[in-house]
A and B are shown apart, each in its own frame.
Chain A
C-alpha cells in the first residue's frame, strides 16, 4: 500500500526533525505531487536538515548546491569540455543531475543563475551546445531562501516563484520539541545512521497514484470558488491563476493519497492552501506575500454546502 509507505516515511522523518509533522507532510506531499519546494526561513531552523532527511529516507541521489553571488549557471548545469581523445566537446553534467537537489540560499545568487536552475526544474532537462540532456526521475528540488529583507539577496521574481509548487516556513520548534532537540543526540549523526524507508521507485509510484486520485465535480466547484474568492478579495493585488488552481488540486491529490484516500476532500485543499497559495499571492497594500491570516480569512469566506 503506497500510502502506508508514505506514513512510515513520515514517522521516520519525525523522529529526526522534531515537532514539524505538518511541514514534513507538506514536503512529502510536494514530492508526491511532482512539484518543487521552497523553504523560506531564517538560518538555523533546520531547512537543510529537512532536505537531507528526505533524500536519505527515500534513498535519492542527493546534491547540494550552495548559491552565492558569484555562482554561474554552468556551475549548476555542467560544462562542455574539449576531449582531446575524441577531438570533440564532451558535456560534464553539473550538480543538477541528481534526484534531489538542495538549492541552498537560492536568493543569494544572481537572477541569471537562479533562472538557469528554475528553467531546468520546469523543463526537466538541460540543453547545452545544442544537445539535450534529460534530468533523472524522480527529480525534486528543495530550495531554501532567507527572508528577502536580509542583506545581499536577490529576491525571486513572481514568475519564478510560481515554479515552486509549495513554499513553506519551518519556524522555531515548539518548546517541548526544542527541549528534546537540545537534550538528544546530534541530528547529523542520527541522520547518518538512518536507512532508506522507501525507494525512489516507490516515490515514482506514489506520484503516479496521486495523479489518479479522484476529484468530484463538487470539489472542483469548491476549488473554483476558492480561486474566485482570491480574485475578488480586495486584500490581494492579483488573484490566483488557473495554473495555481491546477497546482492546488495536484497538491490536494497528493495530500489525500498520503492520507490513504482515493478522492480529494475540501479538507485536503484547505490543508495545502497556505503552502500553495502563500507565495503566489501578494498583498495589495504593500506588495508583500500574503500572510497566514489573510489566507485563513480567504478559506473561511468560501462556504461548503451542508
Chain B
C-alpha cells in the first residue's frame, strides 16, 4: 500500500517516536540523544511546513555516520547498549523518510521493540509507566493508519481498549510462564557496575559521602511490632584493623551455626536487599536461624554465599538482646587491641589517664564514655579535613566529626587504654513508610559504631555518636545535625508533603519489586500452591499456560459474539436505562419503542415514574429528531446514570 500518510497519522507517529526515544536518553550517549532530538525536530518541521522529504542520499549519509559514531563510541556493535543506540538512531531516521503507511508500520514496529529495550536498562515502575504510554501511542498510531479522522479522546480510548484486551493474556503468561533463575531482564554484566553501598574499609569521609544518597539500601517488612529505634542496628562489615588512617576488616571465618547463643525477644522480618555486589546481608543484630544460602561470620555479620548482584528477598529472625562473645577467641581479641606503633600521641596520653593502674575494663569504658559525653564534640556532616593524626585531630583540634570520626576515635582510645574494641559499620535506624508499614533503610542511614569486649560479658555495643548527638539514633540524621546544615531536599522538615509523595511512590515500587520483578520460581510456586497446584515443573506450567490461553481465547470470542451491537453515545445511554429496567425485572422487548417502554417502566416504578417518563421522551426526541446535540446527549447519559430505580 503506497497510500500517503494522513497529516494526523504523521503527528501521532512523531509523538510515538518522541515518547519512545525520550526515556532512552537516560542511557544513550549524549551526542546520540542530541542527534535524535535534531532528527525528530526536523521531522516535526517538515510535517508542520509540509516540506518535501530530505534527499535519500543525505539520509543514507546520516545513517552511515551515526553507525560509524556508534561503533567508535562503544567499540563494537554487539550487546545491548550499541544495539539500542543503533535502533534509536534508525527509528528517528526512518521517521524522517516516512511517506507511506508501509514506512509508518516499520516505525511503529521499531517503537514497540524499543519499548521492550527500555527494560534491559531499568525495570522500575516509572519506566514501566513510560513504556506503557509509549505502547499506547504506538497502538493508537497503528489504528490511525486504518481508521479515518477521529477525536483524540476516542482514539486514546479505543487504543486503551485494545491494550486492555491483551491484559488477561498477559496475566496468564506472567503467572504461568516457567521462570528461570536469575533476574527477568537485567543482563549478568549489568550488576557489576555503578552500585553504591558500604565498603569493607573506612577512612574519614567514606560514610559521609554515602549519607547524602537517598537511594534505598534495603527494606524490612516486620511481622508484628518493630524493634525500638535504639535496637535498629543493621550489621555490615566489622572493622578491626587500623593502620593509623583507615580501618579494615580483619580475617574471619564462617559457619552454618551462629557463634553465639541467641536470647531475648525475637523479631521476624522479610529483608529485601538492593544489589550491592558484596556478600553481606545487613541483617539486624543478631540473627537467629539463618536461612539457606547464608552463613554466619565469626564477627556476627550474616553473609550470603554469593555476592548480591540482583535484588534478593530473605526471611530472617533477629534477637537484638543477645549478648555475644563471652568466650571470645584470643586471636580475635588480640587483633581488637592492636594499634599502630606510632601516631596520635595525644589520644594515647588521654587513654593512659583513663587506664590508671588498677582500673577495671568497665571503669576504663565508663571514663571514656564520660569523656565523649562531656567534651561536647560536634556532630556534623562536613567535618574539616583531617590531619595526619586523624584521631588526635578530632579529639583535640577540630572537635567536630561524623559517625566515622566518633567511632574511630572511640575505638582508638579504648585500644590505647588496653581494651579490645572494634568499629562496626552498617545501617542504623530506617524510616517507616506509613503507606505499607515497611521499614525503608537508605544509604543515608549508613552508620559506624563501636563494640567493646568486656571480660565476663562479651561484646557490648557502644555508639559514641549517640553520646554527642542522641537524636541521631532516636529520630534520625536531620534532627541531629546542627541548625543551618544544608541537607538533601527530602530530609528537610518543610518538604514533608514531598516526603509523603515519596513514601507512596516507594510503597508502590516495593509492591512492583516484590510481585512483578521479584516473581521468581519460588514466588510462582508459593502462589500456585495457594491455588492447590503443587507440581510446578515446566511441563505442568506449560500445560496450565496453554489451557489458560485457550480458555481466554474462547472467553474473548464468546464475549465478542455475545456482545450486543453497540451504537453511539445515545444508544449506549439508552441501553444503560434498559439495563437498569431489566435489573428491576422489566426488560425492554427488542421491538419496543422508547415511549412505550418508558410508559411501561414508569408504571412499574411509580416513585421514579416522572423521571423515567422524562428520560424516555428526551431520548425519543434526541434519537428521532435530528440533529442530536452532543451536550444534550451527555446530559441525558448523566441523568440515566444518576437514576436509581426502586
Contact = CB atoms under 8 A, between A and B. Distances in A.
A binds B: yes
Interface of A: 214, 216-219, 262-267, 270, 299-306
Contact of A262 (B575, B588, B625): B625
A288 to B, nearest CB: 25
Given A263-B621, A266-B593, A306 B574 contact: yes
Given A218-B624, A267-B596, 6 more contacts: A217-B626, A218-B623, A267-B594, A299-B591, A302-B591, A306-B594
Nearest to B619: A306
Nearest to B596: A267
Interface in B73-120: none
A256 to B, nearest CB: 9
A216 B570 CA distance: 14
18 contacts: A214-B625, A214-B626, A216-B625, A218-B624, A264-B624, A265-B593, A265-B624, A266-B591, A270-B591, A299-B591, A300-B590, A302-B591, A304-B591, A304-B592, A304-B593, A305-B565, A305-B571, A306-B577
Interface in B570-605: 571, 574-575, 577-578, 588-596
Nearest to A217: B626
A88 to B, nearest CB: 57
Interface string B555-573: 0000000000101000100
Given A270-B593, A306-B574, A306-B594, A263 B588 contact: no
Contacts of B593: 265-267, 270, 304
Interface in B609-636: 620-621, 623-626
A301 B591 CA distance: 7
Contact of A216 (B567, B588, B591, B623): B623
B575 A216 contact: no
A266 B593 CA distance: 6
B386 to A, nearest CB: 83
Given A305-B567, A306-B571, A300 B623 contact: no
A243 B333 CA distance: 114
A214 B621 CA distance: 11
Contacts of B592: 304
Contacts of B578: 306
Contacts, number: 56
Interface in B351-378: none
B637 to A, nearest CB: 13
A3 to B, nearest CB: 16
Contact of A306 (B575, B624, B625, B626): B575
A37 B642 CA distance: 47
A306 B591 contact: no
Q: Indicate the size class of the contact surface on chain B.
A: 20 to 34
Nearest to A267: B593
B590 A219 contact: no
B567 A263 contact: no
B322 to A, nearest CB: 74
Interface of B: 565, 567, 571, 574-575, 577-578, 588-596, 620-621, 623-626
Contact of A303 (B590, B595, B623): B590
Nearest to A268: B593
Contacts of B620: 265
Contacts of A217: 626
A56 to B, nearest CB: 32
Q: Which of B567, B621, B625, B626 has the most CB of A within 10 A?
A: B625
A265 B595 contact: yes
A266 B626 CA distance: 15
B591 A219 contact: no
Contacts of A306: 571, 574-575, 577-578, 588, 594
Nearest to B568: A305
A190 B590 CA distance: 45
A263 to B, nearest CB: 4
B272 to A, nearest CB: 53
A238 B578 CA distance: 35
Q: Which of A217, A299, A305 has the most CB of B within 10 A?
A: A305
Q: Which of B574, B589, B595, B624 has the most CB of A within 10 A?
A: B624
Please list the 8 inter-chain residue pairs (A to B) with the smallest Cβ-Cβ separation, ordered nearest first. A303-B590, A263-B625, A267-B593, A266-B593, A306-B574, A216-B624, A300-B591, A263-B624
A239 B592 CA distance: 22
Contacts of B590: 300, 303-304
Contact of B594 (A214, A264, A265, A299): A265
Contacts of A267: 593-596
A259 to B, nearest CB: 9
A200 B593 CA distance: 33
A133 B393 CA distance: 132
A267 B596 CA distance: 7
B573 to A, nearest CB: 9
Contacts of A263: 621, 624-625
A218 B620 CA distance: 11
Contacts of B621: 263
A75 B474 CA distance: 120
A303 B591 contact: yes
Nearest to A214: B625
A224 to B, nearest CB: 15
Nearest to B597: A306
B563 to A, nearest CB: 14
B636 to A, nearest CB: 13
Contacts of B595: 265, 267
Contacts of A266: 591, 593-594, 624
A251 to B, nearest CB: 16
A105 B623 CA distance: 44
Q: Which of A218, A305, A306 has the most CB of B within 10 A?
A: A306
A263 B628 CA distance: 13
Contacts of B591: 266, 270, 299-304
Contacts of B565: 305
B458 to A, nearest CB: 82
Contacts of B571: 305-306
Contacts of B626: 214, 216-217
A263 B577 CA distance: 22
Nearest to B594: A265
B384 to A, nearest CB: 81
Contacts of B575: 306
Q: Which of B571, B577, B591 has the most CB of A within 10 A?
A: B591
Nearest to B572: A306
Given A263-B625, A306-B578, A300 B589 contact: yes
Contacts of A219: 624
Nearest to B566: A305
Nearest to B567: A305
B603 to A, nearest CB: 16
Q: Which of A217, A267, A301, A303 has the most CB of B within 10 A?
A: A267
A300 B590 CA distance: 7
A163 to B, nearest CB: 29
A266 B591 CA distance: 9
A260 B621 CA distance: 12
